[in-house]
Amino acid sequence: MNIISGKPTYTLSGKIIKGKKIGTAAGFPTANMDIKDLKSLPPNGVYISVLLWNREWYKGITNVGNRPTVDDKRDISIETHLLDFDKDIYGESVELRLFEKIRETIKFESLDALAEQIEKDKASVKLFFNKHEDLL
């Protein structure tokens, strides 16, 4: 990743599809991206990200990979929890930029434990963009 020149590590494009709404029920809704080319995905993990929709950038936390806390499937998904965002974007085309991997995908004991970690991840996102305001 080249933070100095403002280049993200990965850029992905796709449509937002409906998920199982587990994150929404737990208080952290996610935008699930439909990706056709799984070979172009970054390594599994949780990333600081921005999502472009309707010509606006939104800060987020993106999980690339499986979702061990909510299911045992090995299916790859791309889920982004957007900060300060509450719009319905199902079916919309978006661009997702991943900047920095902040942790591995891990299995939490409960959705409450996952929600607690997501709050810590949000703090990492805010700190990152406070240091790199020019990236938006």
Domain parsing of the chain, residue ranges? 10-128
User: pTM for this one?
Assistant: 0.87
Question: CATH 2.40.30.30: does it fit domain 10-128?
Answer: yes
Long-range contacts of 51-58 (CB under 8 A, 24+ apart): 51/80, 51/82, 51/94, 51/95, 51/96, 51/97, 52/94, 52/95, 52/96, 52/97, 53/87, 53/89, 53/92, 53/94, 54/92, 57/136, 58/82, 58/83, 58/84, 58/85
**pLDDT tens sequence across 92-134:** 999 999 999 999 988 888 888 888 999 999 999 999 999 988 7
